[in-house]
Amino acid sequence: MKVDELGDWRRTHTSTDLGPKLDGKDVTVMGWISSIRKQGKIIFVLIHDIKGDIQVTAITGKTSEKMLTKLQSLSLHSVIAIKGKVKSISKAPQGAEIIPEEIKILNTSEIKPPFSIFGGELPGIDKRLDMRSLELRRPKPQAIFRIRHTTLVSVREFLSNNGYLEVQTPKIIASATEGGASLFPVLYYDKEAFLAQSPQLYKEQLTMCFEKVFEIGPIFRAEPSRTLRHLAEIVSIDLEEAYVSYEDVTKTLEKLVQHTMKTVADKCEEETKELGITITVPKLPFKRYTYTEIINVLQETGFKINWGADLSTSALKKIGEIYPDFYFINDWPTASKPFYIKPKSDKPEISESFDLMAGSLEISSGGTRVSSRRLLTNRLKDQGLKPKLFEKHLDLFDHGMPPHAGFGLGMDRLMMILTQEENIREVTLFPRDRLRLTP
């Protein structure tokens, strides 16, 4: 079918602008066709645009033959522009429909999509991800990504209003920050470099000049296994602050989570309705347990785990059954945390660290950082890392590095909680994992 150029046509109204008070007005609307229905002499075409549907109503005898033929020849998903007159009618989406006078077919949809976005049986996530942007025309992912937008805006607003400076740090880096295993190497001119696993060292350094910083940006982890909560590229909300300890930053973190959930609950009523969920704004403070208490509770239920072990997926599942809400696990064994986490002065086998959990899902990790060069060098060695590789970072610690603390909060995991989705892929536009690098 011949398609038309956009030419000098411009949209005058979107679906949300329309309403009965525009009765009689000439408008130009554009969108993709979400439904075509013939009822006797009338053809109803729904076109979907940025935020809703517009009803275009053509009537045999009144609408030109040419227009009628064109409308009937179109398939779902075709993209059209209509010039016409608004007519107030209570049954139409915004209480108004358009009586078409001119049409441009901007693109056709000639191949039937591999799945229907209008209901009926939906294939598994892998098939849907293969045609992600088409899939994103569905109401459910539309709701999810509008909530994601609101979440981002709300996090930015909360942190900016509390005096944190938004920063951007490099994503191509020279050495590992969290240990080497999960790094993606990249060829950087003639050298080997890596994709950043976290902005850790940069955000720590920035506390010596800006004191309070945050970053919302991608981090990369070559996760060896495919799970419902791990991806190879995620968005991390990182915060770092001078002159505070881990206890202070847990307070900031819980307020941030509460604020964000409240904002989404207030602003995304339509979206949460679409998802069939209600957001319960959590009360503060969140419960705090120590790692040792959690191990004891697990052992009491008969779960086999020794002090010092990391919490496996099955351990997390068990804990999530006992504590389904938000809670902190504090004071982890020093050996299980990265080198930059500060051991307690009076009990160095335990660290000033925390994980924020939502049931069985870890959504954030943080702690007080080591701010002494000597201790940091020893910690690097303890973890089998070469201080030489971190020399430029360590040098700064000779020039007045303030005591500082911070956290990394997984944006995608936060989204899983906000939308009550079990698979992280549902809340990420174009997820990356061991088996997926496209689209």
Q: Which residues bind ligand ATP (CB under 6 A)?
A: 178, 221, 223, 229-231, 234, 236, 362-365, 408, 410, 412-413, 424
Q: How far apart are CA 360 and CA 191, in angstroms?
A: 40
Please identify, using beta-carbon distances, which residue of 77 and 432 lies nearer to ligand ATP. 432
In the numeric block, the tokens 């976290």 are attached to 198
Residue 84 binds what, of ligand ATP, Mg ion, none (CB under 5 to 8 Å, by partner type)? none
Longest Cα–Cα distance in the chain: 89
In the numeric block, the tokens 């779902």 are attached to 76
Cα radius of gyration rounded to whole Å, the chain: 27
Please identify, using beta-carbon distances, which residue of 115 and 214 lies nearer to ligand ATP. 214
Residue 144 binds what, of Mg ion, ligand ATP, none (CB under 5 to 8 Å, by partner type)? none
At its nearest, how many Å lie between ligand ATP and the CB of residue 424? Answer: 6
Please identify, using beta-carbon distances, which residue of 151 and 365 lies nearer to Mg ion. 365
Q: Which stretch binds Mg ion (CB under 5 A): 301-309, 321-329, 359-367, 420-428?
A: 359-367
DSSP state of 228: S
Regarding 330 and contact with Mg ion (CB under 5 A), the answer is: no
At its nearest, how many Å lie between ligand ATP and the CB of residue 45? Answer: 42
In the numeric block, the tokens 């944190």 are attached to 164
Task: Check if the beta carbon of residue 379 is closer than 8 Å to that of residue 211.
Answer: no
At its nearest, how many Å lie between ligand ATP and the CB of residue 381? Answer: 21
Please identify, using beta-carbon distances, which residue of 33 and 311 lies nearer to ligand ATP. 311
**CB closest to ligand ATP, residue no:** 410
Angle between helices 411-419 and 246-267 (to 10 degrees): 50
Cα–Cα nearest to 141, from 280, 275, 277, 278: 275
Please identify, using beta-carbon distances, which residue of 365 and 428 lies nearer to Mg ion. 365
Regarding 177 and contact with Mg ion (CB under 5 A), the answer is: no
**CB closest to Mg ion, residue no:** 365
Please identify, using beta-carbon distances, which residue of 106 and 186 lies nearer to ligand ATP. 186
Residue 419 binds what, of Mg ion, ligand ATP, none (CB under 5 to 8 Å, by partner type)? none
Q: Give the pair of three-digit tokens for residue 398.
A: 């000779």
Q: Give the pair of three-digit tokens for residue 167.
A: 């920063």
Regarding 364 and contact with Mg ion (CB under 5 A), the answer is: no
At its nearest, how many Å lie between ligand ATP and the CB of residue 161? Answer: 23
At its nearest, how many Å lie between ligand ATP and the CB of residue 363? Answer: 5
Please identify, using beta-carbon distances, which residue of 52 and 359 lies nearer to ligand ATP. 359
Could you tell me how many residues of this chain bind Mg ion (CB under 5 A)?
1
Regarding 205 and contact with Mg ion (CB under 5 A), the answer is: no
At its nearest, how many Å lie between ligand ATP and the CB of residue 168? Answer: 18
Q: How far apart are CA 219 and CA 207, in angstroms?
A: 20
At its nearest, how many Å lie between ligand ATP and the CB of residue 231? Answer: 5
Q: How far apart are CA 382 and CA 372, in angstroms?
A: 15
Q: How far apart are CA 61 and CA 59, in angstroms?
A: 6
Taking each continuous run of H as one helix and of E as one strand, the counts in the chain are: 12, 18
Please identify, using beta-carbon distances, which residue of 141 and 199 lies nearer to Mg ion. 199
Q: How far apart are CA 101 and CA 64, in angstroms?
A: 8
Angle between helices 139-161 and 246-267 (to 10 degrees): 140
Report the relative pairing of strands 26-39 and 42-49 from DSSP bridges: antiparallel
Cα–Cα nearest to 217, from 173, 152, 273: 152
Regarding 365 and contact with Mg ion (CB under 5 A), the answer is: yes
Report the alpha-carbon angle 130-132-136, nearest 5: 155
Please identify, using beta-carbon distances, which residue of 169 and 365 lies nearer to Mg ion. 365
Cα–Cα nearest to 290, from 250, 259, 254: 250
Residue 299, CA distances (Å) to 179, 295, 310, 315, 356 in order: 30, 6, 14, 10, 21
Task: Check if the beta carbon of residue 152 is closer than 8 Å to that of residue 237.
Answer: no
Please identify, using beta-carbon distances, which residue of 67 and 231 lies nearer to ligand ATP. 231
Residue 412 binds what, of Mg ion, ligand ATP, none (CB under 5 to 8 Å, by partner type)? ligand ATP
At its nearest, how many Å lie between ligand ATP and the CB of residue 200? Answer: 9
Residue 141 binds what, of Mg ion, ligand ATP, none (CB under 5 to 8 Å, by partner type)? none
At its nearest, how many Å lie between ligand ATP and the CB of residue 133? Answer: 22
Which of helix, strand or coil describes residue 95? coil
At its nearest, how many Å lie between Mg ion and the CB of residue 365? Answer: 3
Cα–Cα nearest to 289, from 250, 255, 244: 250
Residue 231 binds what, of ligand ATP, Mg ion, none (CB under 5 to 8 Å, by partner type)? ligand ATP
Please identify, using beta-carbon distances, which residue of 196 and 363 lies nearer to ligand ATP. 363
Regarding 198 and contact with Mg ion (CB under 5 A), the answer is: no
At its nearest, how many Å lie between Mg ion and the CB of residue 21? Answer: 54
What is the contact surface with Mg ion in residues (CB under 5 A)? 365
